[in-house]
Amino acid sequence: MSLETALHAHLVSKTEITAIVSNRVLFGDVEPSREALPQIVYKVHDNDALETLDGTLVDLQFPVVEFEIRSDDPADIDTVSDLVRRALLELSSGATIGAETVEELSMIDTGTDEETVVLRNDDDTVEVLRRTLIAQIGYRYDVSAVT
């Protein structure tokens, strides 16, 4: 199971999150849509496999994961941001997420800044608030799968 899939499964397993966003936990570059609010969109910015000076692959990876919480309701932004942050902090050292073993988790930025995107549909305009949370998740992976 990839880290992307494992993160999705972890977030949707939290009933407090799905009670607000339903199944709208989305991976990748997803444009805001007024029909699909509130939502969580996340991206994993992988880093290259690490090697030691003698060329040996290291079985640790530290990708940066960006979570964007979107809603037209400021209360949802606050609540969902807090729930995502708490779900991530459950992934302490030694925890497993999917088949991955978490070695370290750092919340790089708690994303207190909000951005507003205006969606226009005929005569209707909706302001979509976005808050970004950024985490770095260190985990061990199978180096034999890296070529």
Note the pLDDT tens digit of each residue in 19-60.
999 999 999 888 877 778 899 999 988 766 666 566 666 667
Residues 81, 40: contact at Cβ < 8 Å?
Answer: no
Strands (DSSP E) along the chain, which ranges?
A: 25-27, 39-45, 60-61, 64-71, 96-97, 100-109, 114-121, 124-140
Note the pLDDT tens digit of each residue in 99-112.
777 888 888 765 54
**The pLDDT of residue 119 is above 70:** no
- DSSP β-bridge partners for residue 51: 57
Classify residue 58 by its DSSP letter.
Answer: P
Note the pLDDT tens digit of each residue in 68-118.
998 888 899 889 999 999 999 888 767 887 777 788 888 876 554 556 666
Domain boundaries, the chain: 3-145
Classify residue 51 by its DSSP letter.
Answer: B
Nearest to 98 by CA among 139, 64, 60, 61: 139
Instruction: Among 51-55, 122-126, 136-140, name the one with the lowest average pLDDT.
Output: 51-55
**The pLDDT of residue 62 is above 70:** yes
At the second CATH level, the architecture of 3-145 is: 2-Layer Sandwich (3.30)
Query: What pLDDT score was predicted for residue 103?
Result: 82
**8 vs 80: CA distance, rounded Å:** 15
